[in-house]
Amino acid sequence: MQITTDYIILRKTPYKETSLILAGISRELGRSDLLVKGALKTSSKKLPAIDLFREISISVAPEKQGLHPVYSAELVSNFDNVADNRGRFETACGLSRFLLSNLYSGIPAPATYDALKTALESLINIETNCFFHLSLVKLIFLKEHGMLPEINQEQRAEEAELLENLLNAAAGKTPLPALTDVYMEQIAAWTDNICRFNELK
């Protein structure tokens, strides 16, 4: 049975003469590896939509084993401008490495998907503190997978409120709170420590 879902491309690899293997994420399928036959043909209608850090609407048959063949692909959003700035591009690549290393195929990840899209949308509009958007996606990933420690709201109300605000900003629900560069670095270090504790890559 075919389903239609939105999908963000995090890696593309040439396969045989004219095809591509895509690695990326969707809300319903989590991490998914796709086969786009004929994508490299100059006459292919799929080619304009298929590129790194683009959101596409695809029709796939997820019950099949191995690579899911793509039956159709249409462009939803493109985040091509992340390549215009080194910091943006390095952060986008960091997002790709983290998610492809830690997400499992077939396990839905709607919150992580929305956080990734929010991060990419934010990256195309900023040039400084790009690294922090990687930390925001990691926070959502940790929360969605039950790895984020709870903060006692009575004893540490200010920290609990900040964490809730960061999670809401990561999900695109609210603007990012005003934070100093030093505070961002501290939050990023705290997040990375939790990732290491949970043996995330």
Share of the chain above pLDDT 90, in %: 49
- Residue-level pLDDT at 41: 64
Asked if residue 43 has pLDDT above 80, the reply is no
Rounded CA-CA distance 17/114 in Å is 34
- Residue-level pLDDT at 89: 92
- 74 three-class SS: strand
Asked if 96 and 112 touch (Cβ cutoff 8 Å), the reply is: no
| pTM for the structure as a whole | 0.88
From the CA atom positions of the chain, what is the Rg in Å? 18
Q: State pLDDT tens for residues 47-64.
A: 557 889 999 998 887 766
Q: State pLDDT tens for residues 23-36.
A: 999 998 899 888 88
